């Protein structure tokens, strides 16, 4: 099975509506001829609709950065899957390490959000990854196993085939420190083996992105690894030229 390469830009809390539209308009022109990569941008909620409109008719898909598990109700500050669908969103990031670190996200809430996203027909990008302390203590595999078991609990194999996993070592996010391609591949291989033991052969179909200081200069080497199927990009996705170069180099 040939897995799709998916490269998603996680804009985090950046870009006003006007800035978001301008970025997508520029990006559209730069990546119009890219066929080998599924390109996704994930703006903040306020810019989603503007970006969906700006990206219409292009090869750029749109994702959100979070989704709540309930259909509606008294959950101040949250957004439902139906709201995202109506806005024209296709993907959604779930359980980013910043959500886990600053907003109390746990594997249990990741699991609830994931189930709601799948039920609504959104394509989830579930983030996992160890902190520097956990890596130094030799706990990387245990941490990832716990995150996968908890985050994906109760899913069928068919459902797992439609989930994108983003492996983002927390120590590599926004720090300029990338895992070496070999180090990342070793961890990606572990993630795929774990998925195989939990969900069987469907693990071969699961797209596993790398995230953490990926840029144009290293995307090629990272995505060339057997078990690295794209990337989740923060900093380098905030400018059209750097993001386009990263995308093109990934499959050059």
Q: Does the protein bind ligand PGA through residue 63 (CB under 6 A)?
A: no
Question: In whole angstroms, how close is the CB of 154 to ligand PGA at the nearest point?
Answer: 26
- From the candidates 68, 96, 98, 134, give the one annotated as an active-site residue: 96
Q: Does the protein bind ligand PGA through residue 50 (CB under 6 A)?
A: no
Cβ within 8 Å of residue 11, ≥6 positions away? 20, 41, 42, 43, 44, 65, 237, 238
Query: By the 8 A CB rule, do 202 and 158 touch?
Result: yes
Name which of residues 136 to 195 contact ligand PGA (CB under 6 A): 168, 173-174
Q: Does the protein bind ligand PGA through residue 121 (CB under 6 A)?
A: no
> What is the C-alpha separation between 184 and 167, in angstroms, rounded?
9
When the beta carbons of 10 and 187 are compared against ligand PGA, the nearer one is 10
Q: Does the protein bind ligand PGA through residue 212 (CB under 6 A)?
A: yes
Phi and psi at residue 242, to the nearest 5° = -70, -35
DSSP single-letter state for residue 47: G
When the beta carbons of 153 and 183 are compared against ligand PGA, the nearer one is 183
Measured from each CB, the residue nearest to ligand PGA is 234
The neighbouring-strand residues paired with 41 are: 9, 62
When the beta carbons of 212 and 230 are compared against ligand PGA, the nearer one is 212
Verify whether residue 168 is a known catalytic residue: yes
Using CB under 6 A, which of 232, 245, 246, 247 touches ligand PGA? 232
Q: What is the dihedral of CA 169, 173, 177, 179, to 10 degrees?
A: 30
Phi and psi at residue 90, to the nearest 5° = -110, -35
Given the rule CB under 6 A, which residues bind ligand PGA?
A: 10, 168, 173-174, 211-214, 232-236
Active site residues: 96, 168
């Amino acid at each position: 099975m040939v897995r799709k390469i998916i490269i998603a830009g996680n804009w985090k809390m950046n870009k006003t509506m006007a800035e978001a539209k301008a970025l997508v308009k520029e990006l559209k022109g730069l990546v119009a001829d890219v066929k080998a990569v599924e390109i996704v941008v994930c703006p903040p909620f306020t810019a989603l609709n503007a970006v969906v409109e700006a990206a219409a008719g292009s090869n750029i898909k749109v994702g959100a950065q979070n989704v709540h598990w309930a259909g509606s109700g008294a959950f101040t500050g949250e957004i439902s899957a139906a709201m995202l669908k109506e806005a024209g969103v296709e993907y959604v990031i779930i359980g980013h390490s910043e959500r886990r670190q600053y907003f109390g996200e746990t594997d249990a809430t990741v699991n609830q959000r994931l189930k709601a996203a799948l039920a609504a027909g959104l394509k989830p990008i579930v983030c996992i990854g160890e902190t520097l302390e956990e890596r130094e203590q030799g706990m990387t595999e245990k941490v990832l196993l716990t995150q996968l078991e908890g985050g994906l609990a109760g899913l069928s194999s068919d459902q797992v085939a439609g989930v994108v996993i983003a492996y983002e070592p927390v120590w590599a996010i926004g720090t300029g420190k990338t895992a070496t391609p070999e180090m990342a591949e070793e961890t990606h291989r572990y993630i795929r083996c774990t998925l195989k033991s939990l969900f069987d052969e469907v693990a071969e179909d699961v797209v596993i992105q790398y995230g953490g200081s990926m840029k144009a200069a290293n995307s090629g080497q990272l995505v060339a690894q057997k078990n690295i199927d794209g990337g989740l990009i923060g900093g380098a996705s905030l400018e059209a030229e750097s993001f386009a170069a990263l995308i093109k180099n990934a499959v050059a």
